Structure 1
């Protein structure tokens, strides 16, 4: 049997047109028509005027924090339930992440815990420099409450939409709700440039600053002069060509990911002790359903409903015997040895999600045969 991967790249023929053109015209450096066009495509998709395409989502997070003035000794509020890159970028700046628990409905930042964290840091005389807001697995966070808190306490927001390209809140694309937004185009994302990222903003000065820092911070001189530290973060024109072809497919890719989520929700409904979650979107929001995730013995099944003794790890191992890749949910960052000394507010929700959750194959190229293989393997694992 062919292996079913978790979220593999899904390329079409569009990308070749842009790649061939770049090679024919000898535009292979981190400058050129594809790069300009890719940035324009992202601006159009997200509804923001400025975009800087970069080598990775992590690079975008790093530059975004620098643009917000984060530096050594500062603290940045960040969800614990996210990929490590979110917090790593904070440490790149010499700052400290202050972790906040999730809420159970969207799995994103809990507004109540966020207020608790802000007020406690203020009592300690340590006002956070910024808020790093993540939309986990493509699910929009509680933006109304979270942005209100950011405004109340005068906290600039870096919106980490690395997993959420194509998701919406109140009919507006995610990525444009913070002072700076970032996306990832890693190979496992809903669209890919193989490796890449982007920073978006409504502020022209911030975009120009990001582009300056991303190209080694070269001063305007006829020779290489540098007055401050810069970075080699600009995306190549070749990879931007892949991105241009991929951007043409965004509506179809979102549609297919959502179809896969709904297929799982329907066909796994009868399995003992398992539920596709988070099952519902907040009113006015739309998730791209980047990855379909499930919980074992979730709370809604605990009142007389059938349970399972299986664990996410035993299920994952069984799927491996059927050549099916799955993955645990993100391990909370406050449980990581790297961040064991970082402040944490709450923790019970994200720890419970990690203990009971699993990501299922969700690639947009999957057909019915592959989906039925996954469902069959899950039935075996839970029987």
Structure 2
């Protein structure tokens, strides 16, 4: 079926076209060049970091972030069960073991459960070496408490900020938390470079280590010399040019995303059984509808009904502990909250270029599907 209103399309236009043409004409088309340097410098500035290393994907950024902190075979990493697969895949890439932590009501890593897990792990002499929080749907995790817990139990914090660029708490911007953080510039993220990501840090040694590993771990000699395994992970200068143009629009993009979230909240405020997942301090990358029992339907039925109306939605991430690839995983720190959000949550159309009329149409169709009406 043709989508009248898709879920989340990238927003690109004249600025991005001009930037990539200028990069092409400059001759810098490889993973090096002035646009790449500028993109990294501006990413560091907007996230409150001293260094940013742009790479080929958010997953690559997570992989390198863990490697930069010495996380490897046999280590245990606390990771939210409610996340996209890339977060946990990166843990496996380095040979570590994920310890799944359930979420709080906002869908973020439950810090009380995390503390129990860290304490029990230390007592069992199998300590958690890293904590990998996820800024779910653009809302920063509770880093203030997560960092305190990690320091208490000797773990390093690696932030998965793939979805939260442009967000921030009263303390600092998203991406500034933890020893290192990872961003994503996939097509549906807050800003896009078509594909891409970045590792953020505040010490030069880590930045140089990440850059070295991302360029095949090549030694600084004329011939090709390698003393360890590296990766072909650097972002191209052409894609970085797109990213710089997107950064010019970051504030406007985040403002529009927040407008969508507020608009949905107003339109659906009086429809029984419906609520929006909280986005406090977030960039509202995705507006997520919670479909409660009083609505007379469920998220999956509602999603199917909207699909028949040409409106694309998507269920909340299926928890990692329910994924077949993780069958038999440790369930001690699973409370049921992530499963409840998976059953009741529905990501709504959230494109930057979504019009007010289209957003109102989505709200009206949601209400109509459950026999209600809205005033927009």
Report the TM-score when normalising by structure 1. Answer: 0.94
Matching residue of 1:21: 22
- How far residue 341 of structure 1 moved from its aligned partner, in angstroms, is 2.5
Structure 2 residue aligned with 1:272 = 272
Query: Contact 2:122–2:153 at 8 Å: present in 1 too?
Result: no
- How far the C-alpha of 1:375 sits from its partner, in A, is 1.2
Q: Does 1:238 align with 2:220?
A: no
Paired position in structure 1 for 2:292: 297
Partner residue in 1 for 2:124: 124
Q: 2:119·2:153 contact (CA, 8 Å) conserved in 1? A: no
Q: Deviations over 1:152-182 (max 9, x none)?
A: 1121110110000011012521111110011
| Mapped pair 1:375 → 2:330 | no
Q: Is the 8 A contact 2:300 2:343 kept in 1?
A: no
1:5-53 CA-to-partner distances (Å, cap 9, x unmatched) read 1111001321122211111121111111111011011011111110000
8 Å Cα contact 2:39/2:241 also seen in 1:
yes
How far has the Cα of 1:312 moved from its partner?
1.1
Match for residue 317 of structure 2 among 312, 324, 330? 330
Report deviation, 1:272: 2.4
- State the superposition RMSD in angstroms: 1.2
Match of 1:343 in 2: 330
Q: Could you say which residue in structure 1 is the equivalent of 2:283?
A: 288
2:147 alignment counterpart:
147
Deviates more, 1:204-213 or 1:146-155: 146-155
Shift of 1:309: 2.8
Which secondary structure state, in structure 2, belongs to the residue aligned with residue 73 of structure 1? coil
Post-superposition shift, 1:2? Answer: 5.7
TM-score norm. by structure 2 comes to 0.96
Preserved CA contact (<8 Å) 1:314 1:381: no
**Could you tell me which residue of structure 2 aligns to residue 353 of structure 1?**
341
Give the SS at the match of 1:168. coil
SS of residue matched to 2:191: coil
Is the Cα contact below 8 Å between 1:78 and 1:100 reproduced in 2? yes
- Is the 8 Å Cα contact of residues 101 and 114 (structure 2) preserved in structure 1? yes
Contact kept, 8 Å, 1:167 with 1:288, in 2: the verdict is yes
The runs of 5 or more residues in structure 1 that have no matched partner are: 299-306
For residue 340 of structure 1, report the CA deviation from its aligned partner. 1.8
